[in-house]
Amino acid sequence: MSAQRQPIVIHRPPPPAHAPAEEPAAPQAPPAPTEAPHVRRLKIMLPLLLVLVFLVYAFTTNFIPSDSMLPTLRPGDHILTMRSWLAYPMGRMPARGDIIVFRGPDLPEEGYPPGADEEQPTGPRKFGVFRNESGEILIKRVVGLPGETVQVVGTEVFINGFRMERHYKVIPPTPDLGDYPFAVQEPLKLGPDELFVLGDNLANSDDGRFWGPLKRSQVIGKFVGVLFHESNGPNMRRAGKS
Q: What is the pLDDT of residue 155?
A: 82
Q: Confidence band (pLDDT; 50, 70, 90) for 222?
A: very high
Model confidence pLDDT, tens digit, residues 135-187: 689 999 999 999 999 999 888 899 999 999 888 888 887 666 656 667 777 89
Model pTM greater than 0.85? Answer: no
Residue 231 known to be catalytic: no
CATH, domain 58-116+124-229, list 2.10.109.10, 3.30.479.30, 3.40.50.300, 1.10.10.10: 2.10.109.10
pLDDT band at 84 (very low <50, low <70, confident <90, very high): very high
Strand positions, DSSP E, 109-193 = 137-144, 149-153, 156-159, 162-163, 188-189
Is 126 annotated as catalytic? no
Residue 238: is its pLDDT beyond 70?
no
Active-site entry in 66, 140, 241, 242:
140
- For residues 84 and 59, give the distance between their C-alpha atoms in angstroms, rounded to a whole number: 9
Q: Which of 68, 84, 205, 242 is an active site residue?
A: 68
Strands of 199-237, DSSP E: 214-215, 219-229
Q: Check if the beta carbon of residue 222 is closer than 8 Å to that of residue 88.
A: yes
Domain ranges of the chain: 58-116+124-229
Maximum pairwise Cα distance, the chain: 173
State how beta strands 77-83 and 156-159 pair.
unpaired
Distance, in Å, from the CA atom of 98 to the CA atom of 193, rounded to the nearest integer, reads 16
